[in-house]
């Protein structure tokens, strides 16, 4: 008999170790102490025993019952002290702050190009693209910059071989479009350009430009001014002022460089605008008749204007970014701010 009660206790302890929930513990209680449980089975044996053994046997069973009950109560007590909410056996703390999903963002330069596209789309401009690997003809000759032209050095260029190069300006796209289409033309051409500059806070061997071109009958410098005015007010804000300075580009005549009042110091003077209150943002002008001749446009009938701006430059001015290299380092701490 002693052996039997010992076995019951060992079995019970084994089963208690596997218990993880209150429900398991309750089931164990029924299995051992219930009306059809293991202890009751022993009780039922009592009347079958000889009369003189009954008392001793009954005492043993009662002792076993008390021990079993105390083991089971102990687990039930322990489990009911633990937090009720359990998810995959981990404690679920409803007071912890939630985890936000990490969402991707467009690169700041892509955002600027999108903004520029949107302003000009509203003014009726189509977005067009051209190749980055170009023929010398489109980068220079057709734009009125022959081999011996002194301004060639302004567009310092990576040559691949012979007359094939990496374009140094997006003005190439003007020619490619005009070769294929007759006026009226209203396009902007965003894209990468390349110049062998030493990399520093303001220079990079690759950067982005957006070129604009409008050709029609009776287009004047006043149209150019108003289109740029619309763009500047939308992109930089309506308090920003604009000024034109006479300049020179081989493919425009007259030509101008366009400045805006420094958006960082509002024209008061700071290190970004070299204490002048103005910063240059783009080049522009009326398309030179030599360029129209290259694409067989009637120079008596059509006039047009073109402009080109640096995407990095306007993004830096708008957001007060002081180093162009930040755009290319892919540092998430920088990029996630836009």
Annotated binding residues for Mg(2+), written as ranges, equal 253
Q: Is 304 in the site for ligand PHE (CB under 6 A)?
A: no
| From 115-123, 128-136, 262-270, 300-308, span contacting ligand PHE (CB under 6 A) | 300-308
Q: Tokens 């409803």 identify what position?
A: 94
Q: Which residue of this chain has its Cβ atom nearest to ligand PHE in the complex?
A: 308
Does 285 contact ligand PHE by CB under 6 A? yes
> Cβ of residue 305: shortest distance to ligand PHE, in angstroms?
8
| Spatial distance between the Cα atoms of 287 and 251, rounded to a whole number of angstroms | 6
Nearer to ligand PHE, 74 or 156 (CB): 156
Assess 307 for contact with ligand PHE (CB under 6 A): yes
How far apart, in whole angstroms, are the C-alpha atoms of residue 216 and residue 213?
Answer: 10
DSSP 95-143: TSPPPPPPPP---HHHHHHHHHHHHHHHTTPEE----SEEEHHHHTGGG
Residues binding ligand PHE: number (CB under 6 A): 11
Binding pattern for the stretch 166-185 against ligand PHE, x by CB under 6 A and - elsewhere: ---x-x--------------
Q: How far is the CB of 106 from ligand PHE (least distance, A)?
A: 24
Q: Is 80 left (phi over 0), alpha (psi -120 to 50) or beta?
A: alpha
> DSSP assignment, residue 183?
S
Binding mask 204-243 for ligand PHE (x = CB under 6 A): -------x--------------------------------
Within 244-273, the residues that bind ligand PHE by CB under 6 A are 249, 252
Instruction: Quote the least distance from Cβ 138 to ligand PHE, whole Å.
Output: 12
Among the residue ranges 62-70, 119-127, 281-289, 315-323, the one whose residues contact ligand PHE (CB under 6 A)? 281-289
User: Following CA atoms 156, 158, 163, 164 in sequence, which dihedral angle do they give, to the nearest 10 degrees?
Assistant: -140
CA 270, 276, 277, 282 torsion-angle sign: negative
Taking the complex as a whole, the smallest distance from the CB of residue 336 to ligand PHE amounts, in Å, to: 31
Q: DSSP state, 84?
A: S
- Smallest distance, Å, CB 299 to ligand PHE? 17
Burial class (CB in 10 A: 0-12, 13-18, 19+), 238: exposed
Alpha carbons 29 and 40: distance in angstroms, whole number: 12
Among 306, 311, 314, 324, binds ligand PHE (CB under 6 A): 306
- List contacts with ligand PHE (CB under 6 A): 169, 171, 211, 249, 252, 283-285, 306-308
């Amino acid at each position: 008999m002693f052996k039997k009660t010992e076995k019951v206790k060992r079995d019970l302890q084994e089963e208690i170790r596997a218990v993880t929930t209150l429900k398991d513990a309750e089931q164990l209680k029924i299995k051992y102490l219930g009306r059809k449980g293991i202890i009751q089975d022993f009780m039922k044996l009592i009347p079958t025993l000889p009369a003189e053994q009954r008392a001793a046997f009954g005492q043993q069973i009662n002792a076993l019952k008390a021990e079993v009950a105390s083991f089971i109560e102990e687990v039930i007590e322990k489990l009911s002290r633990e937090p009720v909410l359990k998810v995959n056996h981990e404690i679920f703390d409803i007071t912890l702050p939630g985890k936000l999903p990490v969402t991707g963002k467009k690169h700041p330069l892509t955002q600027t190009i999108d903004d520029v596209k949107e302003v000009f789309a509203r003014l009726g401009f189509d977005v067009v693209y051209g190749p980055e690997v170009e023929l010398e003809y489109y980068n220079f000759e057709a734009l009125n910059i022959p081999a011996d032209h002194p301004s060639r050095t302004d567009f310092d260029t990576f040559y691949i071989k012979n007359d094939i190069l990496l374009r140094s300006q997006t003005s190439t796209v003007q020619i490619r479009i005009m070769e294929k289409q007759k006026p009226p033309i209203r396009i902007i051409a965003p894209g990468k350009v390349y110049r062998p500059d030493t990399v520093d806070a303001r220079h990079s061997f690759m950067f982005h430009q957006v070129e604009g071109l409008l050709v029609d009958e009776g287009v004047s410098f006043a149209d150019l001014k108003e289109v740029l005015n619309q763009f500047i007010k939308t992109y930089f804000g309506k308090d920003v002022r604009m000024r034109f300075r006479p300049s020179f580009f081989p493919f425009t005549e007259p030509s101008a460089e366009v400045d805006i009042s420094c958006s960082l110091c509002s024209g008061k003077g700071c290190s970004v605008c070299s204490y002048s209150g103005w910063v240059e943002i783009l080049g522009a002008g009326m398309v030179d008749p030599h360029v129209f001749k290259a694409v067989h446009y009637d120079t008596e009938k059509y006039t047009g204007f073109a402009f080109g701006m640096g995407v990095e430059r306007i993004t830096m001015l708008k957001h007060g970014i002081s180093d162009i290299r930040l755009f290319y380092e892919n540092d998430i701490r920088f990029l996630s701010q836009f």
